[in-house]
Amino acid sequence: MLTKINHIGIAVQSLADAVPFYRDNLGMAFMGTEEVAEQKVTVAFLQIGESKIELLEPTADDSPVAKFIEKNGAGIHHIAYEVEDIEAAIAKLTADGARMIDSVPRNGAHGARIAFIHPKTSRGVLTELCQMGH
């Protein structure tokens, strides 16, 4: 069902402060930024091998990422696994008793269709399913 780790999401206070470390100090390829208005975040993607690091900066105090930072501080927010058929993945997980945050896929960055699995199901880790747009 899963094909690879698509990205690891990291919540940050400021992309301007965080991007230089990943780009300049760690040497990752900066792939640009994108606002995801539905999630009230601006994201920056950095490529590392076949996976990416997604830095998430909240654009509003009531965004899920702002609430995460307030509760936990900046740090790893989620892990996203790539799937070929997101509807089939959601159906299998639901049939297996997984608790989904998204029972229907929604739009994510870079034209991807995404769905989150509740962290109570995935043992404390917010887990994203990600079907890339073609």
pLDDT tens digits along 38-75: 889 999 999 999 999 999 999 999 999 999 999 999 99
Indicate the pLDDT class of residue 111, thresholds 50, 70 and 90.
Answer: confident
Rounded mean pLDDT, 76-85: 97
pLDDT at 134: 61
Q: How many Å apart are CA 130 and CA 82, to the nearest integer?
A: 5
Query: Is 123 exposed, middle or buried (CB count within 10 Å of its CB: 0-12, 13-18, 19+)?
Result: exposed
Rounded mean pLDDT, 114-134: 93
pLDDT at 110: 82
How many whole angstroms from its chain centre is CA 106?
12
Which numeric CATH code is attached to 2-131?
A: 3.10.180.10
Indicate the pLDDT class of residue 108, thresholds 50, 70 and 90.
Answer: confident
Find out whether 73 and 49 touch, Cβ atoms under 8 Å. no
This model's pTM is above 0.95: no
- Return the domain boundaries, the chain: 2-131
